[in-house]
Structure 1
Amino acid sequence: MTYRVFIVDDEPFIIEGLYDIVDWAGYGLEIVGNAGNGKDALELLRHTPADLLITDISMPMMDGLQLIRSVRELKPELKVIVLSGFDEFAYLKEGMRLGIENYLLKPINLEELKSTLASTVNKLDAAVPERKPSPYDIRILTDNVLYRWLTRSIAAQEFEERARLLQLKLDAPYVLIAVVRADEPASHLLESSLVSTHAEEGLPAIIPFRDIDGDRVLIIPIEEKEEGKRHEVKLLSRIKALVPSALLSLGSPRRMSDEAHLSYEEAKRAQQYFILYPSDEMVDYEQLPAAQDKAEGQFALDWSAYSKWIVAKDKEALFAQIDDDFKRMQQIGGMTPDDVRQAVVEMLIRFKMELQQIKGLEEPELFRSWFEQAQSLEHITELADTVKQAADVVVESLVQDSKSPIVKTVLKHIHESYAKELSLKGLGSQFHVHPVYLGKLFQKEVKESFTDYINKYRIEQAKLLLRESQLKVQDIAREVGYWEAGYFYKQFKKYVGISPMEYRELL
């Protein structure tokens, strides 16, 4: 039997040396991975089956002793050999308390290392008859083997051996890969419903696993290519109705023997198209516009329309222009998720240039954040909101430039202190101006009343907290300056059209 070894050391030459100086196969061992610090090692060991850990003590991020303590919670039976450049009794004592096999000092004595490996293998051999793989071990190994199979990073012979060991039945002539992206309860419900339906109908068993991106992957064996897919699409449509929040994508039916990876690649690629089609029940790769459909037209940004609304300081019209362009992207044949992201980046660059011309500033932190969002957000409305944020900053910069100093000061105070009690009387006293005059000047320059502006601003901050935090609604109300929850609900409904809870459920 071959046992799996994982090596951790922050000195690359130590890791390389260990690969070379030991005949691992001769001891019935194979190295399955390595890491340069304890934190990375712990993350990798969550997904990498291992029987023996060889680790340094002194490392950045997480030291060896902390790594041993943490990994033992995952795999209590894991054997450990410690390497250290420190001959300190405290380290040795703690290592022994954690049940290590040996504490080897650097530079490593090769004979002592070989002796320790031999004795460790003997202990592993002795434990085999009484040790059964835990469900966790089996799940991790299954995920690892199937992911490597579908990414063509495992040798055919090794895959056959592991598939036989795990009793994976992959002998149907064709396969259809589905990818589910959802929270754990939703993805589990969809998977278990499809598995049980297959069993009830006497169809080949579904083989589920989780890939490196955290997506749930369903390997669906089918006997007939076209008819098999049609039947599975019907089943998936029926089951998908139970979990509307799940994002479900399909590859095309392929030969199980040598094309399964293509169906997986297609299902993953189709998953990206939820940016363009967020309301679709599922995205089927075979139904996506073909590359040649790009001839229907590329998205072309008409910046003259944007410039017109920027100069007019008409934020509402500018936002409508952004919405129209995003709708147009969804209607262009052959438009891909990458095309959408590229268009968003172009828009952001244009707004950045406008801001540079207006203020002589670029707001690098803001735009860096928006550029990152352009690459990471997965919903077209979220991408549109990111562009609107940039548009808002540009228009506000123009508006601010035309405002009187006292209104600029009041706006700055509102933005910094919106959670506090604010009134024209209080601000008038604070900034030495009559409250009636301040109210009229504010209305004239901001184009809305002082009270409306504060309420709108507070509601926008509340929407942000509803999206990005788990705070209760009444706590959010206080965070944005409403001490009476009932009044907050009333104002939120007035400006947003729905209640705070309804808004959160839509996210």
Structure 2
Amino acid sequence: MYKVFIVDDEPFIIEGLYDIVDWSALDMEIVGQAGNGQEALEALQNVRADVLITDISMPLMNGLDLIRAIRDSQPEIKVIILSGYDEFGYLKEGMALGIENYLLKPINLEEFRATLNTTREKLDVSRNEYKLNAHSISILRDNVMHRWLHNQIGPQEFRERAEFLGIVMDKPLVQAALLRPEADHAELFRLCTQALNGNPSVIAFQDMDGDIVLLHLLSEYQRGKEAVEQLHAQLLLSLSAGRPLHLSVGTVEEAEGGAAVSYRHAKRAQEYFMLFPELELLRYEELQRRHEAAVAEGMPIQWEEDLKLIMARDKETLLERIAAHFEQLRQMEGITPDLLQGFAMEWLIRFKMKLKEIRHVEEPELFADGFGRIRTTASIGELTRIIQEAAAVTVDALIRDVKSPVVQQVLNYIHESYFEDVSLKTLGVQYNIHPVYLGQLFHKEVNESFTDYINKYRIEKAKEQLRSSALKVHEIARNVGYWETGYFYKQFKKHVGISPTEYKGLV
């Protein structure tokens, strides 16, 4: 059995820890306790422990000082912090010391048990593993960059996490670029980082869609752009052997507040490879110039008004407006097949992105046929039919969606925070609604239970990581919100039909 030592200056906490967990079921036993760090340090000179559970704020010696001291004599010991302080500085320092988790009081029993399970698994693998491995750091970096580029964390929070994770943002300008692999995401990312050779002016990571993001740091506009163009040419030359590559480039923006804009532009430009599959590189600025030229020639582009009709689920009016737009195009002088295709492509991209914005999932199959047909026709009549069909598909998809604003908020929260501890109870508090009623409302609107929905969503995210990363199964389980690997295996097999290990072998 693995041996556990508990340190807390509140006796009732220690007593509670004895009772709330079936330690023997975890292959663990409590071998000692102490009321402060100094007392614990003295006891641990004579008692070997595999797991140390400690408070932070205690007399004589606090928990962080205890961890530092005990590492000298028992470097392999696993540490779990229990604290009444939700303080990022404590969390940061604890992670630097190689802790397993930082749990707040009052203790979330499910999370505590999951942490103990994970700790036991790590002890099974290696008693010498006592700090975050490279994969975990990579996942943390990707997650922080993703949240920052989607404006989900503020500048101060980003700076704190960036400093901790070694993300250096020391230039005034940024420019985002995206590489979208057709297959073997992990291998292409490895080759890409190898080709970059530690270039300090590029932050490379993978976003939640599997795209490889290159965030270039520029000291000045013109020279910076030229340097980025040269680097992209070298990358495409070194990476394209035997594989098709599509590199899209966003605009140059100010680092403070502009990175998300450049990233969004690079994402948008990436969609245009549907129209120009033979190209390796597309720049948003060039696409924008085409757009502005079309507006100058009088093309009837009124995207915002038309997208409002999508949000209103007003399919009839939307189809009429699309027909009217194309009729205006028919009557324009100097209209070319390229302009017609570009106009239709812009429509499809906006439909696709609007649907993803609302539903938080990629649904390329809804538009794949339209993208293919646009490339092979310049007939106004055929293009009108393609766009009207896509508009109808988009609106119909939204009509099938939920009607309750509260349930939509819950869905949005799940899609953005599925890797966290999400429950009807916490969501009920957040949205000021009784959890039982929320569960009933969710089932009525979504046509499945809250538990089934979040499990299915997490399993889909797990499948993505199994396909595109070299992470171990238990690491992926934690990344998608499962703290107990056994439960993850059970849910995965229930929804996919095979185990995660078998699935990884197939892909």
TM-score for both structures, normalised by structure 1: 0.38
Higher-Rg member (1/2): 1
TM-score for both structures, normalised by structure 2: 0.38
With CA pairs under 8 Å and 6+ residues apart, which has the higher RCO, 1 or 2?
2
